[in-house]
Protein backbone atom coordinates (compact mmCIF):
# COMPACT_ATOMS: atom_id res chain seq x y z
CA UNK A 1 0.00 0.00 0.00
CA UNK A 2 1.41 3.38 -0.90
CA UNK A 3 1.34 6.35 1.46
CA UNK A 4 -1.79 7.84 -0.18
CA UNK A 5 -3.76 4.61 0.21
CA UNK A 6 -2.65 4.28 3.86
CA UNK A 7 -3.74 7.87 4.57
CA UNK A 8 -7.13 7.19 2.92
CA UNK A 9 -7.59 3.97 4.94
CA UNK A 10 -6.76 5.84 8.17
CA UNK A 11 -9.29 8.55 7.27
CA UNK A 12 -12.03 5.94 6.78
CA UNK A 13 -11.18 4.33 10.16
CA UNK A 14 -11.26 7.76 11.85
CA UNK A 15 -14.61 8.68 10.25
CA UNK A 16 -16.13 5.35 11.28
CA UNK A 17 -14.91 5.92 14.85
CA UNK A 18 -16.57 9.34 15.02
CA UNK A 19 -19.80 8.01 13.56
CA UNK A 20 -19.66 10.35 10.56
CA UNK A 21 -20.07 7.54 8.06
CA UNK A 22 -23.24 6.30 9.77
CA UNK A 23 -26.46 7.19 8.06
CA UNK A 24 -29.38 8.08 10.36
CA UNK A 25 -31.74 5.22 11.11
CA UNK A 26 -34.39 5.41 8.41
CA UNK A 27 -37.92 6.00 9.67
CA UNK A 28 -36.83 6.80 13.23
CA UNK A 29 -39.48 9.22 14.43
CA UNK A 30 -38.43 12.25 16.45
CA UNK A 31 -40.64 12.22 19.48
CA UNK A 32 -42.44 14.78 21.57
CA UNK A 33 -42.47 13.48 25.17
CA UNK A 34 -45.45 14.49 27.31
CA UNK A 35 -45.61 13.79 31.05
CA UNK A 36 -48.82 14.55 32.95
CA UNK A 37 -47.94 15.72 36.46
CA UNK A 38 -51.60 15.84 37.58
CA UNK A 39 -54.33 18.53 37.14
CA UNK A 40 -53.08 21.07 34.53
CA UNK A 41 -49.39 20.41 35.07
CA UNK A 42 -47.38 18.94 32.19
CA UNK A 43 -43.73 18.52 31.31
CA UNK A 44 -43.23 18.56 27.55
CA UNK A 45 -39.84 17.74 26.02
CA UNK A 46 -39.24 18.55 22.35
CA UNK A 47 -37.47 16.13 19.95
CA UNK A 48 -34.26 18.17 20.47
CA UNK A 49 -34.60 18.16 24.25
CA UNK A 50 -36.16 21.56 25.04
CA UNK A 51 -37.85 20.98 28.39
CA UNK A 52 -40.99 23.04 29.05
CA UNK A 53 -43.18 22.79 32.16
CA UNK A 54 -46.72 24.19 32.08
CA UNK A 55 -48.79 25.14 35.18
CA UNK A 56 -46.51 23.53 37.80
CA UNK A 57 -49.02 23.04 40.62
CA UNK A 58 -47.00 20.23 42.21
CA UNK A 59 -46.14 20.38 45.92
CA UNK A 60 -49.78 20.91 46.99
CA UNK A 61 -51.37 18.98 44.12
CA UNK A 62 -53.17 15.92 45.56
CA UNK A 63 -52.86 14.13 42.20
CA UNK A 64 -49.09 14.58 41.75
CA UNK A 65 -47.18 11.41 42.69
CA UNK A 66 -45.00 11.99 45.81
CA UNK A 67 -41.69 11.51 43.99
CA UNK A 68 -42.70 14.23 41.48
CA UNK A 69 -43.52 16.83 44.14
CA UNK A 70 -39.79 17.47 44.69
CA UNK A 71 -38.99 20.55 42.62
CA UNK A 72 -35.29 19.56 42.49
CA UNK A 73 -36.37 16.72 40.17
CA UNK A 74 -37.06 19.20 37.32
CA UNK A 75 -34.69 21.01 34.95
CA UNK A 76 -36.94 22.98 32.61
CA UNK A 77 -35.68 25.69 30.28
CA UNK A 78 -39.11 27.38 30.38
CA UNK A 79 -42.01 27.42 32.82
CA UNK A 80 -45.34 28.56 31.34
CA UNK A 81 -48.25 29.71 33.50
CA UNK A 82 -51.75 30.03 31.98
CA UNK A 83 -53.19 32.32 34.73
CA UNK A 84 -52.63 33.28 38.35
CA UNK A 85 -55.06 30.90 40.12
CA UNK A 86 -53.23 28.80 42.68
CA UNK A 87 -53.93 25.50 40.92
CA UNK A 88 -52.00 26.82 37.87
CA UNK A 89 -49.39 29.28 39.19
CA UNK A 90 -48.62 26.67 41.86
CA UNK A 91 -44.85 26.34 42.37
CA UNK A 92 -43.90 28.28 39.23
CA UNK A 93 -41.90 31.01 40.95
CA UNK A 94 -39.95 28.62 43.20
CA UNK A 95 -39.33 26.26 40.27
CA UNK A 96 -38.04 29.08 38.03
CA UNK A 97 -35.72 30.28 40.83
CA UNK A 98 -34.37 26.78 41.49
CA UNK A 99 -33.89 25.73 37.89
CA UNK A 100 -33.06 29.20 36.46
CA UNK A 101 -35.81 28.56 33.90
CA UNK A 102 -37.52 31.48 32.25
CA UNK A 103 -41.03 32.00 33.61
CA UNK A 104 -43.45 32.90 30.81
CA UNK A 105 -46.80 34.41 31.81
CA UNK A 106 -49.04 37.45 31.53
CA UNK A 107 -47.79 39.96 34.15
CA UNK A 108 -48.85 38.95 37.67
CA UNK A 109 -47.71 41.79 39.87
CA UNK A 110 -48.85 40.43 43.25
CA UNK A 111 -47.19 37.10 42.61
CA UNK A 112 -43.92 38.78 41.76
CA UNK A 113 -43.99 41.07 44.76
CA UNK A 114 -44.39 38.01 46.98
CA UNK A 115 -42.06 35.67 45.12
CA UNK A 116 -39.25 38.15 44.34
CA UNK A 117 -38.51 36.48 41.06
CA UNK A 118 -35.40 38.04 39.48
CA UNK A 119 -36.28 40.16 36.46
CA UNK A 120 -34.07 38.13 34.10
CA UNK A 121 -36.10 34.98 34.81
CA UNK A 122 -39.40 36.57 33.83
CA UNK A 123 -40.77 36.90 30.30
CA UNK A 124 -44.05 38.82 30.37
CA UNK A 125 -46.34 37.99 27.46
CA UNK A 126 -49.80 38.79 26.14
CA UNK A 127 -52.21 37.20 23.69
CA UNK A 128 -50.64 36.96 20.23
CA UNK A 129 -47.03 36.89 21.42
CA UNK A 130 -44.59 34.24 20.26
CA UNK A 131 -41.71 33.09 22.47
CA UNK A 132 -38.80 31.22 20.88
CA UNK A 133 -37.78 28.44 23.27
CA UNK A 134 -34.95 26.46 21.68
CA UNK A 135 -36.50 24.47 18.83
CA UNK A 136 -40.05 25.28 20.03
CA UNK A 137 -42.19 28.31 19.19
CA UNK A 138 -44.65 29.12 21.96
CA UNK A 139 -47.78 30.94 20.75
CA UNK A 140 -49.87 32.72 23.39
CA UNK A 141 -53.61 32.31 22.69
CA UNK A 142 -56.75 33.45 24.56
CA UNK A 143 -58.69 31.44 27.14
CA UNK A 144 -62.19 32.14 28.49
CA UNK A 145 -61.77 32.25 32.27
CA UNK A 146 -60.61 34.67 35.01
CA UNK A 147 -57.20 35.25 36.60
CA UNK A 148 -57.42 36.65 40.13
CA UNK A 149 -55.51 38.43 41.54
CA UNK A 150 -53.97 39.65 38.28
CA UNK A 151 -53.05 39.03 34.66
CA UNK A 152 -55.47 37.38 32.24
CA UNK A 153 -56.08 33.74 31.32
CA UNK A 154 -54.29 32.33 28.26
CA UNK A 155 -53.55 29.05 26.56
CA UNK A 156 -50.32 28.04 24.84
CA UNK A 157 -49.69 26.37 21.49
CA UNK A 158 -46.25 24.78 21.31
CA UNK A 159 -45.10 24.52 17.69
CA UNK A 160 -42.30 22.03 17.06
CA UNK A 161 -39.62 22.03 14.33
CA UNK A 162 -41.37 19.22 12.40
CA UNK A 163 -44.54 21.33 12.10
CA UNK A 164 -46.55 19.48 14.73
CA UNK A 165 -48.11 21.39 17.61
CA UNK A 166 -49.51 20.82 21.09
CA UNK A 167 -52.28 23.07 22.45
CA UNK A 168 -52.56 23.43 26.25
CA UNK A 169 -55.99 25.05 26.64
CA UNK A 170 -55.30 26.37 30.17
CA UNK A 171 -58.57 26.79 32.02
CA UNK A 172 -61.31 27.69 29.58
CA UNK A 173 -64.86 27.40 28.40
CA UNK A 174 -65.67 26.93 24.70
CA UNK A 175 -65.21 30.14 22.65
CA UNK A 176 -65.64 30.97 18.98
CA UNK A 177 -62.04 32.14 18.46
CA UNK A 178 -60.95 28.54 18.89
CA UNK A 179 -61.66 28.46 15.13
CA UNK A 180 -58.76 30.90 14.67
CA UNK A 181 -56.46 28.77 16.84
CA UNK A 182 -57.26 25.85 14.51
CA UNK A 183 -56.78 28.00 11.39
CA UNK A 184 -53.42 29.42 12.50
CA UNK A 185 -51.84 26.56 14.46
CA UNK A 186 -53.89 23.39 13.65
CA UNK A 187 -52.87 21.57 16.84
CA UNK A 188 -52.13 17.84 16.50
CA UNK A 189 -52.36 17.22 20.23
CA UNK A 190 -54.84 18.98 22.54
CA UNK A 191 -54.60 19.03 26.35
CA UNK A 192 -58.27 19.54 27.27
CA UNK A 193 -59.58 20.72 30.69
CA UNK A 194 -62.58 18.65 31.82
CA UNK A 195 -62.97 18.95 35.59
CA UNK A 196 -66.74 19.59 35.61
CA UNK A 197 -68.59 21.81 38.09
CA UNK A 198 -66.13 21.68 40.98
CA UNK A 199 -63.03 21.89 38.84
CA UNK A 200 -63.55 23.85 35.63
CA UNK A 201 -65.24 23.07 32.37
CA UNK A 202 -67.93 20.41 31.91
CA UNK A 203 -66.58 17.51 29.86
CA UNK A 204 -69.50 17.73 27.42
CA UNK A 205 -68.64 21.37 26.65
CA UNK A 206 -64.92 20.64 26.30
CA UNK A 207 -65.68 17.83 23.88
CA UNK A 208 -68.08 20.02 21.89
CA UNK A 209 -65.29 22.61 21.56
CA UNK A 210 -62.77 20.05 20.36
CA UNK A 211 -65.14 18.38 17.90
CA UNK A 212 -66.56 21.66 16.56
CA UNK A 213 -63.34 23.64 16.10
CA UNK A 214 -60.38 21.24 15.88
CA UNK A 215 -59.04 18.24 13.97
CA UNK A 216 -56.56 16.78 16.45
CA UNK A 217 -54.91 13.37 16.22
CA UNK A 218 -54.70 13.09 20.00
CA UNK A 219 -56.77 14.59 22.84
CA UNK A 220 -55.46 14.25 26.41
CA UNK A 221 -58.02 15.07 29.14
CA UNK A 222 -56.61 17.13 32.04
CA UNK A 223 -57.69 19.38 34.95
CA UNK A 224 -59.67 16.57 36.57
CA UNK A 225 -59.18 14.04 39.32
CA UNK A 226 -57.24 16.34 41.68
CA UNK A 227 -59.68 18.63 43.49
CA UNK A 228 -62.73 17.44 45.49
CA UNK A 229 -65.88 17.00 43.37
CA UNK A 230 -63.91 16.84 40.11
CA UNK A 231 -64.74 14.51 37.19
CA UNK A 232 -63.38 10.99 37.38
CA UNK A 233 -61.91 9.01 34.48
CA UNK A 234 -65.09 6.91 34.54
CA UNK A 235 -67.27 10.05 34.06
CA UNK A 236 -65.09 11.17 31.18
CA UNK A 237 -65.07 7.79 29.45
CA UNK A 238 -68.87 8.02 29.28
CA UNK A 239 -68.70 11.34 27.42
CA UNK A 240 -65.85 10.85 24.93
CA UNK A 241 -63.95 7.72 25.92
CA UNK A 242 -64.93 5.73 22.82
CA UNK A 243 -63.20 8.15 20.44
CA UNK A 244 -59.85 6.54 19.50
CA UNK A 245 -58.10 9.92 19.60
CA UNK A 246 -58.69 10.30 23.33
CA UNK A 247 -55.64 9.24 25.36
CA UNK A 248 -56.15 8.94 29.12
CA UNK A 249 -52.96 9.38 31.11
CA UNK A 250 -52.18 8.68 34.77
CA UNK A 251 -50.42 11.39 36.80
CA UNK A 252 -46.68 10.75 36.50
CA UNK A 253 -47.03 8.88 33.21
CA UNK A 254 -44.98 9.83 30.12
CA UNK A 255 -46.12 9.23 26.56
CA UNK A 256 -44.20 9.85 23.32
CA UNK A 257 -45.85 11.12 20.18
ZN1 LIG B 1 -57.95 25.68 37.20
Question: SS in 3 state form for the chain?
Answer: CCHHHHHHHHHHHHHHHHCCCCCCCCCCCCCCEEEEEECCEEEEECCCCCEEEECCCCCCCCCCCHHHCCHHHCCCCEEECCCCCHHHHCCHHHHHHHHCCEEEECCCHHHHHHHCCCHHHEEECCCCCEEEECCEEEEEEECCCCCCCCCCCEEEEEECCCCCEEEECCCCCCCCCHHHHHHHHCCCEEEEECCCHHHCCCHHHHHHHHHHHCCCCEEEEECCCCCCCCCCHHHHHHHHCCCCCECCCCCCCEEEC
- pLDDT exceeds cutoff 50 at 19: no
pLDDT for res 108:
73
Residues 6+ apart with CB under 8 A from 42: 34, 35, 36, 53, 54, 55, 168, 191, 222
What is the C-alpha R_g of the chain? 21
Which pLDDT tens digit goes with each residue over 169-204? 999 999 999 999 999 999 999 999 998 766 678 999
Provide the domain count of the chain.
1
Give distance in angstroms: CA of 161 to centre of ligand 1.
Answer: 30
pLDDT for res 224:
94
Calculate what percentage of the chain has a pLDDT beyond 70. Answer: 85
Is residue 201 in a domain? Answer: yes
Is residue 21 in a domain? Answer: no
- pLDDT exceeds cutoff 50 at 22: no
Q: Which range, of 43-52, 146-155, 245-254, averages the lowest pLDDT? A: 146-155
pTM here is 0.87
Is residue 58 in a domain? Answer: yes
pLDDT for res 18:
47
Higher per-residue pLDDT: 114 or 187: 187
For the segment 211-218, the average pLDDT, to the nearest whole number, is 98
Give distance in angstroms: CA of 28 to centre of ligand 1.
Answer: 37
pLDDT for res 110:
67
Higher per-residue pLDDT: 195 or 43: 43
Is residue 107 in a domain? Answer: yes
108: phi then psi, degrees, rounded to nearest 5? -130, 85
Give distance in angstroms: CA of 207 to centre of ligand 1.
Answer: 17
Give distance in angstroms: CA of 91 to centre of ligand 1.
Answer: 14
For the segment 51-77, the average pLDDT, to the nearest whole number, is 97
CA quadruple 43, 35, 175, 233: dihedral positive or negative?
negative
Is residue 10 in a domain? Answer: no
> Which among 182, 178, 156 has a CA at the least distance from the CA of 167?
156
On average, the pLDDT of the chain sits at 89
Give distance in angstroms: CA of 85 to centre of ligand 1.
Answer: 7
Is residue 117 in a domain? Answer: yes
- pLDDT exceeds cutoff 50 at 243: yes
Give distance in angstroms: CA of 32 to centre of ligand 1.
Answer: 25
Torsion angle of alpha carbons 102, 104, 107, 108, nearest 10°? -80
Give distance in angstroms: CA of 100 to centre of ligand 1.
Answer: 25
Which pLDDT tens digit goes with each residue over 218-239? 999 999 998 888 889 999 999 9
Q: Which CATH number characterizes residue 187's domain?
A: 3.60.15.10
Is residue 4 in a domain? Answer: no
Is residue 146 in a domain? Answer: yes
Which pLDDT tens digit goes with each residue over 66-95? 999 999 999 999 999 999 999 999 999 999
Domain residues for the domain of 139 are 30-256
Amino acid sequence: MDAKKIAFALLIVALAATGLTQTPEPGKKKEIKITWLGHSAFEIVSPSGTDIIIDPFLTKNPATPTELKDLAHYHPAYVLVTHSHGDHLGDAIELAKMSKAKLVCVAMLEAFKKGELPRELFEGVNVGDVVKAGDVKIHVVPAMHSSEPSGRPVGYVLEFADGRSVYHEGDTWIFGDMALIQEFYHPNIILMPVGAVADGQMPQMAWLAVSRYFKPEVVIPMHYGALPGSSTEEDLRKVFGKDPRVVFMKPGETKSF
